[in-house]
Amino acid sequence: MGVSLDELKFSEEDLKRFNLVEVFRLELEKVLKKTEPSPSELDPRRKLACSDYFSLMLFALYNPVVETMRGLCASTRMEKVRMIVSRNEVSLGSFSEAQTIFEPEILRKVLKNVSSKVNGNFGDKRLKKMLEEIVAVDGSLFDALPRMTWAVYRSSGKNNKVKLHLKYNVLGQQVTDAWISEGNKCERKQLRRQWKKGEFYVCDRYYGLDYNYLSSLDQYGCDFVIRIRNDANYEVVQDYPLDELDVKANVLSDQLVILGSPNKEKDPVKLRLVRINVEDKTFLIVTNRKDLSAELIALIYSYRWEIETFFKWIKCILKCRHLLAESPQGVSIQIYCALIAAMLLMGLTGEKPNKRQMEFIQWYLCGVASFDELLNGLNLKKS
């Protein structure tokens, strides 16, 4: 059953005029007005503007034909591309050089602005009061070429990777922040630099390996639901009773515990531990929230898979497995553009488009599919 345009807060004329590259350029210009250009950008001989370069990167993600930097530059010879995406023809050399001139931080700011306008509708209604708080945190790896020596992952240097560190608002379905690093960058250290008081972090067990890290997170003023290893060392201080909803949610126990050995730890970490059963596997979840039921704690942790789904979507649907640049700045620019593209699409459709819906969007942007065919492809209906 299709979703009506009224539900998405779009009129038919809005959707007909909706050009994702144009919307991106409008958001980009807002940030550029507040950004000091580099001396190289001010050189009158420079023909490739910052807005054009970033727009071409975004255009490549939406276009099913463009797969290489050479092909992307060749597309700028077409009049329609120069009207919508890039004002001038772009040479391969200019495009390659641009990755060292234009700052990825500009796109990070655009990402935040675009993402804040996505109105996701996910999760249990009982958690809606925590809409701005619950943030899934994780990292995901992208393959890098052997010659990208900065993207260190293994000591052998034969398997280089780039890592995307992401903060994802689960209930709002928004990317709240992102950073790109070499593959071996510690995710816990990266998150520590970006702790924000009042946020509620949902993380996998990598973040629960260091008990002192959990204690510091609590003291900083952040809430969390984090998985720890099943062989974790802890001492039970108190057992909390389970109600009917807890049992139905496969909660096995709800306890107050001291993590680590009291005899070895200088400052034992006292937290709430909820044991749950998931497909015949036992998960140990720790949290510093005592006001939520064990069933809700288990539910919140299950929402962590939303960030995994988002990573998969970015890699498979937006073709972000193939990197058009090789420098740290260039790779950051492409990945930020992929995240912005994802948020623009979610703002358009109200959800993550599947592969077939992506095809209809691409056909419509290429002028092949009609407006009505786009609506059918996106499972939308006229009001």
pLDDT digits (tens, 9 = 90+) for 333-350: 999 999 998 898 888 777
Tokens of 44: 């009158």
Q: Which of 139-153, 188-202, 301-315 has the lowest mean pLDDT?
A: 139-153
Tell me how crowded residue 359 is: count the other CB atoms within 10 A of its CB. 15
When pLDDT is averaged across residues 341-363 and rounded to a whole number, the result is: 79
Residue 231, class by beta-carbon neighbours within 10 Å (0-12 exposed, 13-18 middle, 19+ buried)?
A: exposed
Would you place residue 226 in the very low, low, confident or very high pLDDT band (cuts 50, 70, 90)?
very high
pLDDT at 17 (0 to 100):
43
Q: Which of 43, 44, 93 is nearest to 69 (CA)?
A: 93
Would you place residue 182 in the very low, low, confident or very high pLDDT band (cuts 50, 70, 90)?
very high
User: What residues contact 339, with CB distance under 8 A and at least 6 apart?
Assistant: 111, 115, 175, 178, 314
Sign of CA dihedral 230, 231, 232, 233: positive
Q: Tell me the pLDDT of the chain averaged across its residues.
A: 86
% pLDDT > 70, the chain: 89
User: What residues contact 92, with CB distance under 8 A and at least 6 apart?
Assistant: 69, 70, 73
User: What residues contact 156, with CB distance under 8 A and at least 6 apart?
Assistant: none
Whether residue 4 has pLDDT greater than 80: no
Query: Could you give the CA distance from residue 317 to residue 355 in angstroms, rounded to a whole number?
Result: 6
The amino acid at residue 291 is D
pLDDT at 13 (0 to 100):
47
pLDDT digits (tens, 9 = 90+) for 86-101: 888 999 999 999 998 9
